[in-house]
Amino acid sequence: MPQEMTAPVFRFAPSPNGALHLGHAYSALVTHDMARAAGGRFLLRIEDIDLTRARAEYEAQILDDLAWLGLEWGRPVRRQSEHFATYRQALDQLDALGVLYPCFATRKEIAQAVTSPAHPLDPDGAPLYPGLCKGLPEVAIETRKARGAPFALRLDMDKALALALERNGSPLTFTEIDGDRQEVIQADPARWGDAVIARKEVPTSYHLAVVVDDAIQGVSHVTRGRDLYAATDIHRLLQVLLGLPEPLYHHHRLITDAQGRKLAKSQRDTSLAALRADGLTPADIRRLVGQAI
């Protein structure tokens, strides 16, 4: 069950790899307004573990856009790239449970191993990991590591799930809230297969960094778009394995373009910066996304 928290904590967690668009503005406004209505805190977290795509100028622009929208957030702002040592500790904890294994396979090798058009896909539409490096003999692992071969760490999903069920004492669930409504949802982490928990180039993944940070920041309410709904299954699994508290979840609707497509950072026309330059006001933005005060 989610923990009872006296002072609710909410967070908006953008990745600084592009300009914020209307979809981000909506997410930030929903989160901010829920925090205010609940008498809680609104935190900002910069999710910059992708060192090749994150840029300081995007981060500066995010802060500027949010301030322009009239939002105020708690300090200090947490920047994930400053906490790799913390994620490494969580990895060590998972490793000690025996639920991780190194994967040396390249994207190309994985794609080549997935030959059947009927190969199962994960919720993001990527083929489930075909198990190339699963069960590698210890000596093969050590030889490759000694050669300096880069490797990711994957979750052995079967083992992880069995251990989490044992620890939890009941099937994994999460609580989705919407206004006054609460619904307990069954989590199905197995549909992600042996997911990457630490990438080759950094000692974490989106999934690991999010659950570790939400716990460290005392986040009681995770608010984010419905595109991350399925990710919650694996987040619950990691929370149980790492002994972290369970937040409440609210997955809000996505802002779409005129063709009904989810907005993307590459569509420059809906960036907040472009809309500002066109003379729109923060009140206009609220109206456009249906989040008027």
What is the full DSSP assignment across 94-153?
Answer: HHHTT-EEEE---HHHHHHH---TT--B-TTSPBPP--TTTT--HHHHHHHHHTT---EE
Amino acid at 32: H
Q: Which residues pair with 177 in a beta bridge?
A: 182
Binding mask 200-239 for ligand GLU (x = CB under 6 A): ----------x-------------x---x-----------
Q: How far apart are CA 71 and CA 63, in angstroms?
A: 10
Query: Least separation, in Å, of the C-beta of 210 and ligand GLU?
Result: 5
- By CB under 6 A, is residue 247 in contact with ligand GLU? no
Cβ contacts of 72 within 8 Å, gap of 6 or more: 42
Tell me which stretch binds ligand GLU (CB under 6 A): 11-19, 51-59, 147-155, 282-290: 11-19
Q: Taking CB under 6 A as the criterion, which residues in 15-54 touch ligand GLU?
A: 15, 47
What is the full DSSP assignment across 221-245?
Answer: EEEEEGGGTTHHHHHHHHHHHHT--
Q: Looking at beta carbons only, is 167 or 226 nearer to ligand GLU?
A: 226
Query: Least separation, in Å, of the C-beta of 136 and ligand GLU?
Result: 32
Q: Looking at beta carbons only, is 113 or 267 nearer to ligand GLU?
A: 267
Q: How far apart are CA 254 and CA 252, in angstroms?
A: 7
Q: What dihedral do alpha carbons 279, 282, 283, 287 form, nearest 10°?
A: 90
Amino acid at 63: L
Tell me which stretch binds ligand GLU (CB under 6 A): 13-21, 66-74, 91-99, 130-138: 13-21
What is the full DSSP assignment across 58-80?
Answer: HHHHHHHHHHHTT---EEEEEEG
Query: Least separation, in Å, of the C-beta of 13 and ligand GLU?
Result: 4
Q: Looking at beta carbons only, is 15 or 220 nearer to ligand GLU?
A: 15
Q: Taking CB under 6 A as the criterion, which residues in 83-102 touch ligand GLU?
A: none
Pick the binder of ligand GLU from 9, 13, 153, 248 (CB under 6 A): 13
- How many residues bind to ligand GLU according to rule CB under 6 A? 7
Query: Least separation, in Å, of the C-beta of 69 and ligand GLU?
Result: 16
> Which residues of this chain interact with ligand GLU, rule CB under 6 A?
13-15, 47, 210, 224, 228
